Structure 1
Amino acid sequence: MTRNKFPVTRRQALAVCVGATIGSFTLPREWFLSSPERIPQSATGSWPMERHDPARTGYAPESNGLTRKPNVSWQATIADKDEILSRLVCSDKTVYATSNDTLYAFTAATGSQRWQTSQFGTLPWTESSFRRTENSLQVRNGPTLGNKQLFVGSRNHLAAVDLTDGSAQWGRRTSGTSTVLRVGNTVYINNGDTAVAIDLQSGLERWKTSPTVGVYPYAYADGFIVGPAGDSDPSPVAAINALTGKREWTTPIKIKNPVSSIPTHRPNPCIVNGTIYYGSGPLYALTLTDGTVRWSHSIGATGVSLTPVSDGSAVYFVLDDSVRAVDAESGKLRWRVDLPALETPALIDGTLYVGLEHGIAALDSATGDEQFRVTLSETETVSSSPIIAGGTVYLALGQTLYALTDK
């Protein structure tokens, strides 16, 4: 069922009632902000955001994976043949997927559709209306799971969505959001060249940078938010303080094409054990605290969109119909497997899952040896990166979402 209504939270209702009661008196914005304490980034049996966590490791060590050829537990096909499922996250009970214009929720156990929504409406305390004449979300990033919320970025808006029915809790107008990063009780986005920290519960701003010191908040670890400094092409890499937005460092290393109109086509960093792995050719390892270069690894190309994942031992990425593993400490190539891989891998202990043109393959992460390969469709092309939760691998091909298990 499509949902387009707005729920009213106690915090929001109280804000409106108080405002009506006290007239022109203005309460401080801090009154509406939840405390910035850390909350768990992910629960066991979930894949809450792009590449699993704020550091964008793509690594779920707590998950049980599949090492032998799996079975299709279920498949769910959306009705709109013009839409393509492209981004997946999941809790322990629900899988969430987006297409260009719609957000979907499916029951993880059976694949039955719980709800879908393509329009959020309006609220008096949001910064602007979400209503679009063409009735379209125009999803550009996310979804990202939060504390009983789901965050979705569209072309000009960020919305917090209720997990139970898809209705919006709050929203903000932006001027081009290319990334959504959730850390604890804070959501970080870019608003053009400005980095903005937003309170998870209320949707109110904690801080924002000026365009001259902002970064695109691609990844987070140990108090640092890392990404390209501005939308120049190429762009230097920079880090800001997650609590204050203060610029911590900028490195002269330049990343080619850091901001594409299609978010999944941008180079993106991952951060493991105090090291940032990032590049568009070559691949760099940078020290998180000051941005110094530890090593660089030539990939035989420049201006490509590397989206690495890492377990701390090796860094894995897909490039030119191959999957490659580079030693995390030295930057030396461990192995390369020629495979028609199309999407960012997902990683658990010992196994790397890679989306192929018409299915998925599992590789031994230590050696690159193939553990299994499954063709899911002869006609549809893989359209999402795989995710892993609760012993199940989820993958989208065109309009169909697949759940793979060993049962």
Structure 2
Amino acid sequence: MEGLETGDPGHVGRYRIVARLGAGGMGRVYLGRSASGRAVAVKVVRPELAEDPGFRRRFAREVEAARRVNGFFTATLVDADPDGSPPWLATAYVPGMSLEEAVRVHGAWPHRSVLALGAGLAEALEAIHGAGVIHRDLKPSNVLLAADGPRVIDFGISLAAEASALTQTGTVVGTPGFMSPEQVTGKPVGPPSDVFALGAVLAFAATGSGPFGTGSAHAVNFRAVYESPDLEQLPPGLRAAVGSCLAKNPGHRPAVAALLEQLAEAAGVGGDADVTAVLADMVWLPAPVATTVRLRSAQPQSPTPLLAPLPPPTGPTPSMTAEGPRPEPPIEVRPHQPWISRRRALTALVGATAAAGLGLTGWRIYDFLGLPEPEQRWKVKLPESGTPSAPAVADGVVYVSSNDTLYALDAATGNQNWKKSTETGSRGGDPAVADGNLYLCFDDYLHAIDAVTGEEKWKFATAEDQWAVPAAAGGVVFVSGKDQSVYALDAATGAEKWKSRHAAAKETERASLAVAGGVVYAGISDGYLAALDASTGEEKWRFRTGEPGRMYPAFAEDVVYVGSSYGNMWALDAATGGEKWKLASNNGVEALAVVSGVVYAGPYDLYAMDAATGKEKWKWAPDEGFVDSPLSVTGDVVCFSTSEGRFHALDTATGKGRWRFEAAVKDRSPSFAAYDGVVYISDTDGTVYSVTA
């Protein structure tokens, strides 16, 4: 939950704004209250959209259509002002948790719960479509779980945003993995498109991941259009229903009414009973989810139930070994403390300093104090001394290694799920996680470890004693050795599929890897980028820079962006390696991220550039040091750490600081991973933090 900041409205229409709930594609969302105390979710449109007359007209039409939706499993539109400055709308506030959060924190759902969820969502779509509205962006984060059933939110406003966004070259509106093939390819969409999204949502609830895998937006969208969904983990009855929803041809998908009847019957709704009556009883929810929903729903007057963290642990937790659970010395887990107390203390200190007439640079101190610390959700001190690895996060679990031990921590609470001894006496490499496997380099091997149990599945050895952080896609693990050889290994067995050796590569260097769309992009230290066929290892093309520096690739929307430690940056056509644009820099480009049409590049200054043209949008210069970590974008902030041990979050639109966090620094800069609005930080003192981005 975000508190109010400078620039946030005190009132919107007749609603008093009491807290900021988050941000979305159209604008910010606030918790508001009417004079009678009624809680509503108020969405305020972004200024650049509000200035578009065409958007305002479409927004007004969509609001009027949404007013006609009157379904039990929808968050009812209660008020709106399309002509306001800025425009806004308010829906009934649902004090629960989103389906995305429920699966991320508590794991995949059992068969019966998924069927009941599907029946509720199908009834919601029936009401939405009956009012002449197409949702266009049904996804797990747009499904809220309340005590009396699910609620579909954000219906009826997607068309206005879509029409505005499509005026921008190359923009596709929607969420990869939940968009229908016709939506991805820009064809007209109707009710069958929402049915497709519903199938993907149910697959996500049942398995913990989408039916078209993970990876870049381009790769996921490609699979949604051309490849069959992965439904092997679903039981037969649910597999048939979900598979029919995910038919490529819209005409082959079931009508919502037929789907509702099928899911309701499978969920046990028969005779005179209806879906509303069945979902009114919380037994349809998985037990851990029901507990969290019940706790949040029990405090309807609190401004923080929707995004509040789970209660902190009160004692030691078991860890799994080969012999089963055994007690372990407790990891120190501390609940979050609000940043405001420290900020007030520092503000008082500055006031005292000024009164004493000390010669300090006042504006710089004020700038530092003007940035709050992020909300700390939990803090874990690992028992082993030493510098932890960078965290890896997936499926509600944080993985981090310290000295000769690998830990799996619950992402919501910091509780230890399991720990595993690596018996190396050193930190080893940074872990990576994909498709249920955790990959970690130590003791001259690449190890594949079951992400749920901590049991080793296989290990792979070569003559090299150092490895790059691996990448995984399509059931294959790609890793670069000390001599810049790229290995492709079967993710299930560890068997070598192919090896690509770059004869010109220098020893002791490792290629930087990016994998997307069936291609492995390997950044080689001798100044070239190689594009390798992910199936065979055959080189498709090679781009030479004429510089000896190491290359750092990133991929987005059919374009490969590559930076050189010697200073320049290029945008290349992913199919041919042809140059689209080049940007000269005197400081090198060793940190690179591409999100939503913007390229972020460091390290000595951080630049935000238009991905299509390379034109600078903003530039951020650190007070001291330089960017000394990968860049990660979550929500509307770009996160990174500097060589001075500070973590920064900058506004992606403006480059202005949003928060700053101090961490311990010894032999290296702290490391972090950003995931779904949360940043997990491991400092050099052996402490792992979870903070709200």
Greater fraction of residues in helix: 2
Q: Choose the corresponding residue for 2:478, options 188, 194, 205.
A: 188
Structure 1, gaps ≥5 residues long: 1-37, 58-63, 121-134, 259-266
Q: Choose the corresponding residue for 2:571, options 266, 269, 285.
A: 285
* Percent identical residues: 24
Give the match for residue 71 of structure 1.
375
Contact 1:226/1:240 (8 A) holds in 2: yes
Give the match for residue 595 of structure 2.
311
Give the match for residue 651 of structure 2.
364
Give the match for residue 391 of structure 1.
677
- Aligned CA RMSD, in angstroms, stands at 3.3
Q: Does 2:609 align with 1:326?
A: yes
CA distance in 2, matches of 1:401, 1:250: 40
Question: Measured at CA, do residues 391 and 106 of structure 1 come closer, stay the same or move farther in structure 2, by a change above 3 Å?
Answer: same
Deviation at 1:245, TM superposition (A): 1.1
CA distance in 2, matches of 1:361, 1:370: 7
Contact 1:54/1:219 (8 A) holds in 2: no
Question: Measured at CA, do residues 306 and 376 of structure 1 come closer, stay the same or move farther in structure 2, by a change above 3 Å?
Answer: closer
Aligned residue identity for 1:240: L
Give the match for residue 89 of structure 1.
392
CA distance in 2, matches of 1:299, 1:318: 10
Give the match for residue 440 of structure 2.
152
CA distance in 1, matches of 2:404, 2:568: 35
Q: Choose the corresponding residue for 1:219, options 514, 531, 541.
A: 514
Deviation at 1:187, TM superposition (A): 0.5
Q: Does 2:164 align with 1:164?
A: no
CA distance in 2, matches of 1:358, 1:188: 31
Deviation at 1:99, TM superposition (A): 3.8
Deviation at 1:209, TM superposition (A): 3.1
1:329-384: CA deviations, max 9, x gaps?
1112221112244322210242212224344222111211222223356x679844
Question: Measured at CA, do residues 150 and 255 of structure 1 come closer, stay the same or move farther in structure 2, by a change above 3 Å?
Answer: farther
Give the match for residue 207 of structure 1.
498
Deviation at 1:317, TM superposition (A): 2.1
Contact 1:315/1:327 (8 A) holds in 2: yes
Aligned residue identity for 2:552: N
CA distance in 2, matches of 1:268, 1:252: 13
Question: Measured at CA, do residues 174 and 384 of structure 1 come closer, stay the same or move farther in structure 2, by a change above 3 Å?
Answer: farther
Contact 2:569/2:582 (8 A) holds in 1: yes
Contact 2:552/2:591 (8 A) holds in 1: yes
CA distance in 1, matches of 2:479, 2:547: 19
CA distance in 2, matches of 1:269, 1:329: 16
Deviation at 1:100, TM superposition (A): 5.5
Q: Give the number of the structure whose alpha-carbon radius of gyration is greater.
A: 2
Deviation at 1:210, TM superposition (A): 4.8
Contact 2:639/2:647 (8 A) holds in 1: yes
- Greater shift after overlay, 180-189 or 156-165? 156-165
1:128-163: CA deviations, max 9, x gaps?
xxxxxxx346523x4121232211123621111122
Aligned residue identity for 1:226: Y
Give the match for residue 295 of structure 1.
581
SS at match of 2:607: strand
Question: Measured at CA, do residues 155 and 248 of structure 1 come closer, stay the same or move farther in structure 2, by a change above 3 Å?
Answer: farther
Q: Choose the corresponding residue for 2:619, options 327, 336, 339.
A: 336
Question: Measured at CA, do residues 393 and 210 of structure 1 come closer, stay the same or move farther in structure 2, by a change above 3 Å?
Answer: closer
SS at match of 1:316: strand
Give the match for residue 342 of structure 2.
none
Question: Measured at CA, do residues 184 and 405 of structure 1 come closer, stay the same or move farther in structure 2, by a change above 3 Å?
Answer: same
Contact 2:528/2:544 (8 A) holds in 1: yes
Contact 2:446/2:459 (8 A) holds in 1: yes
Deviation at 1:253, TM superposition (A): 1.7
Deviation at 1:216, TM superposition (A): 3.8
Contact 1:236/1:251 (8 A) holds in 2: yes
Contact 1:345/1:385 (8 A) holds in 2: no
SS at match of 1:197: strand
Q: How does 1:93-132 map to 2 (within 5 A)?
A: 93-99=396-402, 101-119=404-422
Contact 2:216/2:516 (8 A) holds in 1: yes
Deviation at 1:79, TM superposition (A): 2.5
Deviation at 1:101, TM superposition (A): 4.2
CA distance in 2, matches of 1:217, 1:373: 29
Contact 2:379/2:688 (8 A) holds in 1: yes
Deviation at 1:54, TM superposition (A): 5.2
CA distance in 2, matches of 1:285, 1:97: 33
CA distance in 2, matches of 1:94, 1:207: 31
Contact 2:523/2:553 (8 A) holds in 1: no
| Structure ranking higher on relative contact order (CA contacts 8 Å, 6+ apart) | 1
Contact 1:56/1:219 (8 A) holds in 2: no
Alignment TM-score, normalising by the size of structure 2: 0.42
Deviation at 1:179, TM superposition (A): 3.9
CA distance in 1, matches of 2:533, 2:396: 34
CA distance in 1, matches of 2:463, 2:216: 25
